[in-house]
Amino acid sequence: MAYYIGLMSGTSVDAIDAVLCNIDESSANPIQLLHNKSLPFPNVIQQQIHSISNAEYAHDPIEEMALLDRELGELFAEAVDDLLKDSEYSKDDITAIGSHGQTIRHRPDAYHPFTIQIGNPHSIAARTGITTVADFRTRDMVYGGQGAPLVPAFHQAIFHDPQQDRMIVNLGGIANITYLPANGELLGYDTGPANTLMDQWISRHQNKSYDQNGEWAQQGKVLPELLNDFMSDPYFSQPNPKSTGREYFNLNWLKQFSLDDFAPHDVQATLLELTAQSVSQAIQQHTQTGTVILCGGGAYNSVLQQSLKTHLSNFEVTTSQEFGVAPDWIEAMAFAWLAHRCLNNLSGNLPAVTGAKQETILGSIYPA
Ligand SMILES: Nc1ncnc2c1ncn2[C@@H]1O[C@H](COP(=O)(O)OP(=O)(O)O)[C@@H](O)[C@H]1O
Ligand SMILES: [Mg+2]
């Protein structure tokens, strides 16, 4: 039994999610969530992350990246301080922090595939006094993998059921699915956008960071031809393994569809349907029945949830809450678990998911 902290901040750039977990792989319940805390990004940091992540507009990217890397390191450390203050634990109780970092570029298809997460782990380790594990994706990519998604191994550890086929759907900025058949090999990959296009579209037209409960989308109607045009993007038919990010699905991607001809809320309704349809089609490629477990912030979008239920009428569609874990914390828990795997010399990637040639230990260790 050991205590670990997980830090996660995904493509939505909404907040740093921090969790404190108890990990014991020999137990039937290998990981328990003890405390959680979310530190919302200040607006100015959010804008800096967006600007540096935008491949076309960054003007002195090396300088900006270095500064933001250090600044985010300080913020991640602050998230850990906040989490511990709210708990009955102190730094000496914690074995390690697993910090995903903020992705600013993910290029699995480059000649030398690479991925960059910032949020300086030296800052986190030094400020908190806790050993920190970071840079989880690179080694998988060196072995030819996508470096993503990494959560399916964790989904398997906590959600696998030998009696029932299960499909875990993580609705963050990007959507990824993990197929956990009762018997047989698991699968997992990014299906495409979950919230990122909806977030960017509502931010542009309504100056809001996201469409709460899908209310704005609900005021619009789905435009079937536009939906077909969206769905004809080659990413959706590309076979797995595959991974994607904001550097592909962004406002620039939307520009190819002459959206000025449509009412903005109809476009929002169509973007929501794009998420529901692309996720459902991906699921139905692998199985026709089973339990679908939604997690990530998009699990709170009731209109999206309803649309997924309509597409997946043969399935039981539920959220991770039903299994005792709030949808918000699963990804951060995964990075606490991956830190534990690293420190115990256990592999963290699943070649069947990422496409890597071999299993490997993920992460670099930054001593306290
Ligand atoms: N009540 C809600 N209604 C609609 N969308 C929501 C709600 N709560 C969260 N979200 C969506 O979830 C996103 C954050 O999800 P999260 O799992 O943190 O993603 P990431 O891992 O990409 O940061 C928000 O940007 C928003 O789009
Ligand atoms: Mg988030």
Q: What is the DSSP string of 239-264?
A: PSS----TTTSSHHHHHTT-GGGS-H
pLDDT attached to residue 54: 79
Domains of the chain plus CATH, in order, are 2-147+329-366 (3.30.420.40), 151-323 (3.30.420.40)
Which amino acid is located at 94 in the chain? I
Query: Which ligand approaches the C-alpha of residue 271 most closely?
Result: 1
CB burial class (10 A; 0-12, 13-18, 19+) of residue 312?
Answer: buried
pLDDT attached to residue 58: 61
pLDDT attached to residue 57: 63
Q: Which atom of ligand 1 sits closest to the CA of residue 213?
A: 3
Q: Which atom of ligand 1 sits closest to the CA of residue 211?
A: 4
11 within ligand 1 shell (Cβ under 6 A): yes
Interatomic CA distance for residues 355 and 349, integer angstroms: 10
Q: Which residues contact residue 195 at a Cβ distance below 8 angstroms, ignoring those fewer than 6 apart?
A: 12, 171, 172, 173, 210, 275, 297, 298, 301
10 within ligand 1 shell (Cβ under 6 A): yes
pLDDT attached to residue 62: 86
Give me the residues of the chain with pLDDT under 70, please.
Answer: 55, 57-58
pLDDT attached to residue 61: 82
51 within ligand 1 shell (Cβ under 6 A): no
CA 296 to ligand 1 centroid distance, Å: 6
Tokens of 216: 């704005």
pLDDT attached to residue 367: 97
Given a contact cutoff of 8 angstroms between Cβ atoms, the answer to whether 351 and 153 are in contact is no
pLDDT attached to residue 59: 73
pLDDT attached to residue 203: 96
CA 171 to ligand 1 centroid distance, Å: 7
Given a contact cutoff of 8 angstroms between Cβ atoms, the answer to whether 316 and 326 are in contact is no
CA 329 to ligand 2 centroid distance, Å: 9
Interatomic CA distance for residues 283 and 312, integer angstroms: 9
CA 217 to ligand 1 centroid distance, Å: 15
